[in-house]
Amino acid sequence: MVAHARELDPFECCGLLAGSNGTVRHHYRITNTVAKDARAAQVFEEAHVKGLSHLPDMTRAEVAYFMDPKEMLAAFKDMRQRQLDLTAIYHSHTGSPAYPSSTDIGLAYYPEAAYMIVSLQKKSQPDIRAYWIRDRQVVPAEFHSI
């Protein structure tokens, strides 16, 4: 996740982690299409979280992410074939702390997945944190590296 975030910095990266019984076994990098998909701005506006339409395309990917829907579908299909569940949804914050923004909270439609954020605010010291976001309530989620 850190490598992914660093590769795309200053743009936000995003992806999915799948596993079983809470143990991650597979990592999917998903393309951030916020700058390319016209519907992304509509989704943000529908949720009343962030106006994107006034931002130039390139800037949008520095402050937001929108997972490529086709890649998401393929990832979910692959999870079913591997008999894995969606464990976590991650993205990077390239210049802000690893805490969910109001945008992240307003667009959190997957209560069963931990939301992980990789902050590159301190470039040499990436900070990774995880949260449960349910009914707009944010609760830190524990995780361990094994």
Partner 1 sequence: MIKVRIPTPLRPLTRGQGEVEANGASVAEVIADLDSMHPGLKQRLYDERGELRRFVNIYVNEEDIRFLKGKETALKEGDEMSIVPAIAGGR
Rule CB under 8 A: which residues touch partner 1? 12, 14, 16, 30, 34, 39-40, 42-47, 50, 63-67, 69-70, 72-73, 76-77, 86, 89, 91, 93-96, 100-101, 103-104, 107-113, 115
Cβ closest to partner 1, residue 24 vs residue 63: 63
Tell me how far, at minimum, the Cβ of 90 lies from partner 1, in Å. Answer: 10
Report the C-alpha gap between 14 and 11 in whole angstroms. 10
Angle ∠(14,123,17) on CA atoms, nearest 5:
25
Tell me how far, at minimum, the Cβ of 131 lies from partner 1, in Å. Answer: 11
Q: 109 is written with which tokens?
A: 């439609």
Tell me how far, at minimum, the Cβ of 5 lies from partner 1, in Å. Answer: 13
Cβ closest to partner 1, residue 48 vs residue 144: 48
What does each C-alpha distance from 15 to 55, 74, 91 come to in angstroms?
A: 23, 12, 6
CA nearest 12: which of 106, 116, 108?
116
80-109: b (≥16 Cβ within 10 Å) or e: eeeebebbbbbbbbbeeebebbebbbbbbe
Tell me how far, at minimum, the Cβ of 16 lies from partner 1, in Å. Answer: 8
Cβ closest to partner 1, residue 78 vs residue 144: 78
Q: Quickly count: other Cβ atoms within 10 Å of residue 61's Cβ.
A: 22
Cβ closest to partner 1, residue 103 vs residue 141: 103
Tell me how far, at minimum, the Cβ of 25 lies from partner 1, in Å. Answer: 18
